[in-house]
A and B are shown apart, each in its own frame.
Chain A
Amino acid sequence: MTISLALEQLLNGIQLGVMLFLMSAGLTLIFGVMGLINLAHGSLYMVGAFACAAVAALTGSFWLGLVASLACAAAAGAIVELLVIRRLYDRDHLDQVLATFALILIFSEGTRWLFGSFPLYLDIPPLLQGAVALPGDATYPVYRLAIIAVGALVALGLYLLIGKTRLGMRIRAGESDREMIGALGVDIRTLYTLVFALGSALAGLAGAIVGPLQSVQVGMGEPVLILAFVVIVIGGIGSIKGALIGALLVGITDTLGRLLLPQLLTLFMDPSQAGMIGGAAASMLIYVVMAVILSVKPRGLFPPAHA
């Protein structure tokens, strides 16, 4: 194995991590502020991807598609919040799980109804085509680097939004004491809808930017949703910092594990067996990491102070 291959896989891991961060930031924010577990977050990711692919196919512009994905996911999130989610805030987690599971069924079949069962494809926008050189004769696609940049920008934006603005102050206040900020005259229902729409928009963005790397199809949100769960469990539910660190940890562990474990095992056994066992073990690696972290810190790396 060469240095350039390792570097390339490391970048892939960071890119996966960044995408997971966009998903888990919304998920953890919604849980932190409203105490709601939202299984349908993966559906909003799918909505973003489909909106981007459909608008890009219609107008020929990826950038318009990107705008559409943000708008559609945020709108879908707001509608779902107004119709269903707001009835669930004072229910127990079991009801929340079931109702959002029902939403997944509705979203998935609804999308299949609208777009059919065949996957859609998105092209990488011309501006971001091509590759940059890495040390050691390797190249790396510009588009994947752009995803990493988007993730870094979103992380910075969220940090500023939550740490420095009035809205962010209210979100933080909502995390520490819901009833009190309602009593202080903040319109808590609108705040909840806003937070939910923001989280949905982030999920939609994640779906849209991943669209060109894989096919856009029904059910694409579910594997990502489960990885995002692993991320926020590792990071501590409710913590955006935890989501960022957890996402990068999961992204890099998963990508490098798939590369390194089979190679490591060839030291002990013949290559075909090492490939088989290494592949199976690598697919379980992030869950093992999660188990180890939980056995040391059952509430994740950065548990919210008040919970």
Chain B
Amino acid sequence: MVLTRENAVNLTLAVLLLAVPLAASALGQPFYITLATRIAILALAALGLNLALGLGGMVSFGHAAFFGIGGYAAGILASHALSGEPLLFDLSGTAQMPIIWLVAVIAAGLVALAIGALSLRTSGVYFIMITLAFAQMVYYFAISWPAYGGEDGLSIAVRNQFPGTNTMRPLNFFFVAYAVLLAGIGLFALIRASRFGAALVATRQNEIRVAALGIDPYRIRLAGFVISAMITALAGALYADLNRFVSPSMLAWHMSGELIVLIILGGTGRLFGPLAGAALYVAFEFALGGLTERWQFFLGLILLGVVLFARGGLLGLLAGKTKHG
């Protein structure tokens, strides 16, 4: 890897995210560990969306659906593991994170396949509105289905386990989230460099040329959308474990908006954009939230300023413009 300015910024971000909780742990400030874990998980969720939005140019306003499905997978499996009631037929619940993640990813992938197959028949504004509408459908379903808490949500009594570590300790859980985030970033880089990634980027840049090359843009986009949803769902499962609670608010359209905001704050389509955006967002929330309970008002103003005047986001500011794309 060549040490370009962007790589240097990326490396700094990754090291900082690791250093903060270690320092916080040494100083006996567990709150900052939770904050860093939140950053890592939100970054992973936005990283998933970035695959669809940044690479494929699909402005999905419905990724909260996948985030929430991941969260509910963790919540539902854990509640069945606790109560001992079988989930379906003879299948029981589980408190093992790897199995939960697998279920979350598969469930979200299937839902994304259905939503994407329909939504990708359209483009532009239609796509934005339809993904929003389908996510809202999932949201209303979660609210009106009483078996798993309905509107009140579902608590996870004991954080789910990861083999070989005690996840109830905040620092250990941070390491799990951080490792998954790094793996996610690695996967994103691999995909971006692959033939599939090139085709995905090309569908955004010029659909007609892609079709002329004999590649079906619809199938490329659909595959990109599904993978994107799966990564976001994995983040959702972790987020539920972080809060030990999952509720329909994870599925709400505000969440979808926030995920897009994270990407834009960091820099669209960039490898570390989501991490930069999530760090900035959580820092805003923490700093402004400490000053005023009306922090969302100021967040709105800042966001408006970024969209109107600072297109590249934080990474655009720190690492310069992208060369192409």
Contacts and interface: CB of A to CB of B under 8 A. Distances in A.
A226 B133 contact: yes
Contacts of A104: 300
A99 B309 CA distance: 11
Given A103-B304, A110-B297, A222-B253, A237 B126 contact: yes
Given A103-B304, A109-B294, A280-B141, A97 B136 contact: no
Contacts of A93: 59, 124-125, 128
Interface in A293-307: 294-295, 298-300
Given A94-B53, A109-B297, A295 B118 contact: yes
Given A84-B308, A294-B121, A287 B296 contact: no
Interface stretch (B86-94, B208-216, B257-265): B257-265
B308 A87 contact: yes
B132 A98 contact: no
A287 B115 CA distance: 11
B121 A97 contact: no
Interface in B124-152: 124-126, 128-130, 132-134, 136-137, 140-141, 143-147
A237 B137 CA distance: 20
A290 interface: yes
Interface stretch (A128-136, A187-195, A227-235): A227-235
A89 interface: no
Contacts of A102: 299-301, 303-304, 307
Contacts of A97: 59, 61, 128, 260
Interface string B135-173: 011001101111100000000000000000000000000
A283 B301 contact: no
Nearest to A234: B133
A98 B309 CA distance: 13
Interface in A215-242: 222, 226, 229-230, 232-233, 237
B122 interface: yes
B300 A279 contact: no
A268 interface: no
A95 to B, nearest CB: 5
A113 interface: yes
A280 B148 CA distance: 13
A222 B252 CA distance: 11
A167 interface: no
A299 B124 CA distance: 11
Chain A contact residues: helix, strand, loop or mixed: helix
Nearest to A230: B133
Nearest to A35: B125
A238 to B, nearest CB: 10
Contacts of B143: 283
A276 interface: yes
A108 interface: yes
B295 to A, nearest CB: 8
Interface string A268-288: 000000001001101110011
A140 interface: no
Nearest to A37: B125
Contacts of B130: 233, 290, 294
A64 interface: no
Nearest to B145: A280
Interface in A87-131: 87, 93-95, 97-99, 101-106, 108-110, 112-113
A284 to B, nearest CB: 5
Contact of B300 (A105, A229, A276, A284): A105
Given A37-B128, A283-B140, 17 more contacts: A94-B53, A94-B260, A94-B264, A98-B303, A103-B300, A104-B300, A106-B297, A109-B296, A109-B297, A109-B300, A113-B297, A226-B253, A237-B126, A280-B144, A287-B134, A294-B121, A295-B121
Interface of B: 53, 59, 61, 118, 121-122, 124-126, 128-130, 132-134, 136-137, 140-141, 143-147, 253, 257, 260-261, 264, 268, 294, 296-297, 299-301, 303-304, 307-308
